[in-house]
Structure 1
């Protein structure tokens, strides 16, 4: 009966608009919630098929469907803390509830969030106030990231910072920029050796020295020899052990005067003319010493000037205490120490799925994969479809309060209209009842 279908359609309209009102209420309530993704409500008509020409129409009503627009990105809000983290573009941060700490990720479902204010707890675990723990891949001691499966959570571990931790960066590279006096290789010169010390750091952060002695070759003829013997000793070794001994020849021509011409290895690590580097082995480990390539300006030079170590640089640092931790756009979590040493300690990958809107929404702005979302993949930030990781930032709610209030007015009017339909049907049924009287 058409009048009964009108009543059912009115009731369906009330239920549909009540559902829309619930979504609007949720959106407005979370307009200030970082990382909140708004709920959208769509209406779909329900049609009851009937024969043509029957002269009657039965109302099918309406059905409401809700979806959370997870692929929408809120604006980034700057903060003053380096561990306020958000993603710009596609991809989310992997997290896990703190109650699961100690049990490992195992075969558990992947959980993710688009932003979080992470702080170390009493054990140094980075987590939010709601108990979401940031996950990442631990780095090796040299700062490199091991290879992990990208379609599994097995390699992810909770990011842990130890505030009182110390670390040292051993020296692996030294560059020499030294001028040797050209007059020391002329006939009749005194042949006085020149010595300089180069500091380096061992694997335990201890400061050591290499002593480099340059002895000029005195010519027997009328021309300058332009040759030197270089001997490198390790001050940390027994009886100042010799690391290497080399014969240096410098160019005295107009075109390349003063530059290194050739290096002959007498003992120790070999010289590579393609890179200008010596391969040395100190007690702390291997060290590459760059003295310059033949014909290049820089490195070791021989000019008519005093002996001058003009530019000696090295990497490494002594043992230092952790000062701060920051994350870069590639998801690399780097620790800075009070000695100036910066070391990569974790990489935080970005999680992506084929259909972000198919993710299951959980509490605290976290999401979980589902059959609708598709399988996840762990990307390096900036690779594939993913965006960058932003420190000192939070993602704002995607709620537009003005648009929600406009929808609220429309929903209120639609709800009132459906209620009016029910009231009208009730009056018509009353009239039908009165016919019998």
Structure 2
């Protein structure tokens, strides 16, 4: 009977609007929750099959289905904590719970979130107050990241930052800009050797010295424009059993141009038989120092280059000596850049990459399973995950000193609340009216 279907439709309307009210209340309650994704309730009508123009109509009612709009992103909020992390754009941060890391019975499902405030715990593990641990790929000693699998979490590890860690930065590149006095190669010059000491840092953070000497060639008349450069390494210990000077890394004959076009620049560099070769294309020498355990690329300048070794005027002047490397330093700060690289800064100015945090992407973010603490897991409707480098592929970038705000618009939710209240009252009125009509029907026999 159609009057009974009206009652059923009214009851269904009450249930559907109650469901919508639940999503609205959840949204309003989490309007200040970082990274919260708005929940919605969609209504769908239920129609009972019936003949056209049958003269009667049976109400099918309504059903409500809920979903969470995970692909909606809140605005970024600036903070003062370097490891407050948010994703700007598409993608999720890989995380795990403390409990799952302690479980060694098998692989744990990947969890992900769009933002988090991470701090180091007593063991140096980066985690949130709610127990979410940040995952990343560990860097090699030189700061590079090895090739990792992208469709599995087997390469991901908890990010561990020890506050008391120290690190050294060995010297690998050195640029030598020195002016040699042209007058010292004249026939009446005294032929004194000009010394130069350059500090470098070894693989173990020790301070060592490259001792470079320049000895002019004195001709019988005129000017030779020629020097002998000898490079010695303080880290090499001489062998008393041999008469050779073991500390000598290389001996080179330098000839300088005296023409009007390239006057004062190198015209040739000739190594002796036991010295590393001179690369005329780059103007470099590849020195093996510290007993052969360390290589330093020393740039002395290309042929005709005014930025390396020169021979001008009458003064000996080290004009520009630059090098990389630093002594052993203590950790002072940790930050994350837009590409997801976590960089440790030491008090010596040395900056080293320690981890890379990839971004997780799935074909259908709204199909993810929602968990506590604004975390999500892959489901059958979301599709398989893939780990991207931040800023690459479809994913966005990683923002430090930032949190993602709630995706809730309180004004819109209050509007929805009023509409839901009116709809609920109207459905209650329908039930009341049906009850009165049924009462009238019962009273007919009296």
Residues in 1 aligned to 2:68 and 2:102: alpha-carbon distance in whole angstroms: 32
Change (3 A) 1:107 1:50: same
Residues in 2 aligned to 1:57 and 1:113: alpha-carbon distance in whole angstroms: 49
Task: Report the alpha carbon displacement of residue 106 of structure 1 after superposing the two structures with TM.
Answer: 5.2
Residues in 2 aligned to 1:424 and 1:100: alpha-carbon distance in whole angstroms: 55
Please give the secondary structure, in 1, of the residue aligned with 2:373.
helix
Give the alignment of 1:227-242 within 5 angstroms.
227-239=226-238, 241-242=247-248
Task: Tell me if structure 2 keeps the 8 A contact 1:106–1:153.
Answer: no
Please give the secondary structure, in 2, of the residue aligned with 1:151.
coil
Q: Give the match for residue 287 of structure 2.
A: 280
Question: Is 1:295 aligned to 2:304, yes or no?
Answer: yes
Deviations 1:354-404 (A, max 9, x none): 100000000000000011000000000000011110000000000000000
Residues in 1 aligned to 2:213 and 2:359: alpha-carbon distance in whole angstroms: 52
Change (3 A) 1:373 1:417: same
Change (3 A) 1:339 1:125: same
Question: Is 1:4 aligned to 2:4, yes or no?
Answer: yes
Residues in 2 aligned to 1:74 and 1:434: alpha-carbon distance in whole angstroms: 59
Q: Give the match for residue 261 of structure 2.
A: 255
Deviations 1:159-193 (A, max 9, x none): 00111111111111111111111111122211111
Task: Tell me if structure 2 keeps the 8 A contact 1:138–1:346.
Answer: yes
Task: Report the alpha carbon displacement of residue 130 of structure 1 after superposing the two structures with TM.
Answer: 0.4
More displaced, 208-217 or 240-249?
A: 240-249
Q: Give the match for residue 249 of structure 2.
A: 243
Deviations 1:52-111 (A, max 9, x none): 121011111111111111111110000001010001000110000011224469532111
Question: Is 1:371 aligned to 2:414, yes or no?
Answer: no
Q: Give the match for residue 265 of structure 1.
A: 271
Deviations 1:290-341 (A, max 9, x none): 1111111201111114111111111111111111100000000000011111
Q: Give the match for residue 216 of structure 2.
A: 216
Task: Tell me if structure 2 keeps the 8 A contact 1:105–1:156.
Answer: no
Please give the secondary structure, in 1, of the residue aligned with 2:25.
helix
Give the alignment of 1:35-434 within 5 angstroms.
35-103=35-103, 107-222=107-222, 224-239=223-238, 241-266=247-272, 267-283=274-290, 284-434=293-443
Task: Report the alpha carbon displacement of residue 268 of structure 1 after superposing the two structures with TM.
Answer: 2.1
Please give the secondary structure, in 2, of the residue aligned with 1:253.
coil
Residues in 1 aligned to 2:110 and 2:128: alpha-carbon distance in whole angstroms: 17
**What's the TM-score, normalizing by structure 1?**
0.98
Task: Tell me if structure 1 keeps the 8 A contact 2:184–2:314.
Answer: no
Residues in 2 aligned to 1:134 and 1:347: alpha-carbon distance in whole angstroms: 11
Stretches of structure 2 that go unaligned for 5 or more consecutive residues are 239-245
Task: Tell me if structure 2 keeps the 8 A contact 1:126–1:160.
Answer: yes
Deviations 1:197-229 (A, max 9, x none): 01000111111111000111112343x211111
Stretches of structure 1 that go unaligned for 5 or more consecutive residues are none
For these two proteins, the number of residue pairs brought into alignment is: 436
Cα-Cα RMSD? 1.1
Task: Tell me if structure 2 keeps the 8 A contact 1:105–1:153.
Answer: no
